[in-house]
Chain A
Amino acid sequence: MTTEGRRASDLLSAARSSLASSLGGVPDGLHLAAGGGHAVAEGLVGLLEGMWAAGQAPPALVVSSVDHSAALRVARWWRSLGHPVHTVNVDSVGSFDAAEVVELALGSGPSVVCVQLANGEVGTLQPAQDVLAQLAGTESFTLLDATACAGRIPLPSGWSALAADATSWCGPRGVGVLLTSTSSPWRVREPALEPELAVAPMVAAAAALEQVLASREVDNAHSFGLVARLRRELPLLVDDLDVPGDPDSRLPHVLTVSALYADGESIVRRLDDLGLAVGSGSACANDSGEPSHVLAAMGALTGGNVRLVLPVTAADPALDQAVDQFLLTFPDVVRSVRTMMGAP
């Protein structure tokens, strides 16, 4: 090996160790994926196939109606093979009931359970820790989906596999991480999961995670207050606004709002023209043309939807000004889109 090659290999190995330990795992259990959705899918499929290989019958899969779309795709595939799949519904803030998940899992015999830690669209925190604790030592193995929040909030232990995405800690796009525990039945699929990842994004992802963890408490208190302010003030500035998700038990940095009589695509485009980058769960703003399955499962308004995911202060020192600007511009943007739409 050349000196340069050895240096790249050392950097990669240090980045892998750092990522694994920051996320509460060991380097041997670290598998890289092309993104969070890829990590979720490979985690679930590897658990299902690993358990089936070790046992007699195919295991059941338990998911919730607000799980990552990649998890719901695995559920559709598993069902299409004729294997058991159970879907847990959520309440109006998007939270599932831990007791219901545990009962379904234990009643299914050997099973794989997808456990969301927090919902990335509406920010609602899930009772993931309860589910992991109650399923420990049973025939149910868990994938903890932390793709929306790894780095930003503490991760519970006790999972068989954990899926994360570097974008949740303001790292580079296209870096997904799957961690498996030493006792996990997860097994690697053929062909092997790991994409050819360049050294630079891996090193950047590991460094960004260390940095976010170092200032997490201060950042979270700050973001939580900014989102609380938006949740409080936006409905006073804009009529007919739906602010879904749990107002208190939520991620500090995620906000979603839906405006009646407006389309998400137009709102997102106008905010974008003003330099404010936002996402949307509205059908018209998605490639799929389908409304957000999360908002639909909660009974929330899907039209006119805008999602804000606040970065950490280190990634955007002008966070407060961006929130001020949003409060200033969003009401005008909604008004102009409603006028264009012929709203009543």
Chain B
Amino acid sequence: MTEPDANPFEPADSHFASVPTPDVWLDERGARCPAPVIALARAAFTRPAGTVVAVMAIDPAAGTDIPAWCRLKGAEYLGELPPRDGGEGMAYVVRTGAAE
């Protein structure tokens, strides 16, 4: 996890953000597929349903596999947050479903 002020994906003004404010940030920018999805699953299964989790990732498979994970596991895919500093990667935001 990253300090909030070191997090380039954290919206500057959450009031106007396109997705709900994440409760948990996972930094998977150094990881390759399927590690970001595994990190998301581990985070989801240890927290109450309805937790908003953001996964920061650079691997191109994350953009398709995180929404696909939501469909397979009954979670809700909320959208992406691009980096404000124009850097690499994306934060994918998910609301977890019932824990398994």
* Residues of A that sit less than 8 Å from B by CB: 240, 242, 258, 260-263, 282-284, 289-291, 295-296, 299-304, 341-344
Contacts and interface: CB of A to CB of B under 8 A. Distances in A.
Interface stretch (B35-43, B78-86, B89-97): B35-43
Contact of B65 (A289, A303, A341, A344): A303
Contacts, number: 69
Contacts of A240: 72-73
Nearest to A241: B72
- Give the dominant DSSP class at A's interface: loop
B6 to A, nearest CB: 26
Residue among A283, A296, A300, A303 with most chain B CB within 10 A: A303
B45 A303 contact: no
B67 to A, nearest CB: 6
Interface in B10-42: 32-35, 37-38, 41-42
B33 A301 contact: no
B48 interface: no
A302 B71 CA distance: 13
B49 interface: no
Interface of B: 32-35, 37-38, 41-42, 45, 59-61, 63-65, 67-69, 71-73
Given A304-B34, A341-B38, A344-B45, A283 B69 contact: no
A302 B72 CA distance: 13
Given A290-B60, A341-B35, 6 more contacts: A263-B33, A283-B61, A284-B61, A296-B64, A299-B64, A299-B68
B64 A302 contact: yes
Nearest to B34: A303
